[in-house]
Structure 1
């Protein structure tokens, strides 16, 4: 599925975003693309460390779509990158099979959010159901996502201590 020239990078309704460019406008924005590519390189570097230190493999990871934009150049804050839309990766595991993800407000084609569809497909392959949470105004715009703004209690008494089990927790 591809987007039409009019498809918005952020859904028109349901967000308080000041700027809602089309997908084509973002793809023509060299600064946006450079920032997204730099963020992708840095994420890949961190994934390499994660895989090396834990013994996990690339097939143990689930990739979900999240565009990034640079920040700091237009502000007095530190340079870096931040998710342009609510970051699906920054949700909250509710159970082994249920995941509360920030609604990405991605581009729509035929009334379907392409980001939601891609994430649901990727997570369903591992038997995980996605429950979408609206957090655009109360968390995303403040620089956080669902996992940042929630409390969760977990029973960790039955498992092995991850720091004493060796690479990969095995």
Structure 2
């Protein structure tokens, strides 16, 4: 089962997750629907990518094969 938490945060509102490949009921992948719903509640639009053969079978996920540029000029941690 691809790990939905092992994706890449693309922006404050956009998340890239591995395709879930869950059971399809009524024409809908119920795992994908559940992940999409949870991330939406946190304010994210989730986009899925098929990493099954490239990373998942090799014991990795989307974050294992991606590079992102991040702004490190300001503190990223929450203020106390």
Pairwise same-fold verdict (TM > 0.5): yes
Q: Deviations over 1:63-95 (max 9, x none)?
A: xxxxxxxxxxxxxxxxxxxxxx11101000000
Counterpart CA distance in 2 for 1:144 and 1:87 is 9
What's the counterpart of residue 28 of structure 2? 112
RMSD of the alignment, in Å?
A: 1.3
Partner-residue secondary structure (3-state), 2:12: coil
Runs of 5+ consecutive residues of structure 1 not aligned to the other structure: 1-84, 163-167
Q: CA deviation at 1:127?
A: 1.5
Structure showing greater relative contact order (alpha-carbon pairs closer than 8 Å, 6 or more residues apart): 2
Q: Greater share of helix residues, 1 or 2? A: 1
What's the counterpart of residue 92 of structure 1? 8
Q: Which has more radius of gyration?
A: 1
State the TM-score, normalized to the length of structure 2.
Answer: 0.92
Q: CA deviation at 1:103?
A: 0.2
Q: Deviations over 1:24-65 (max 9, x none)?
A: xxxxxxxxxxxxxxxxxxxxxxxxxxxxxxxxxxxxxxxxxx
The aligned length equals 80
State the TM-score, normalized to the length of structure 1.
Answer: 0.45
Runs of 5+ consecutive residues of structure 2 not aligned to the other structure: none
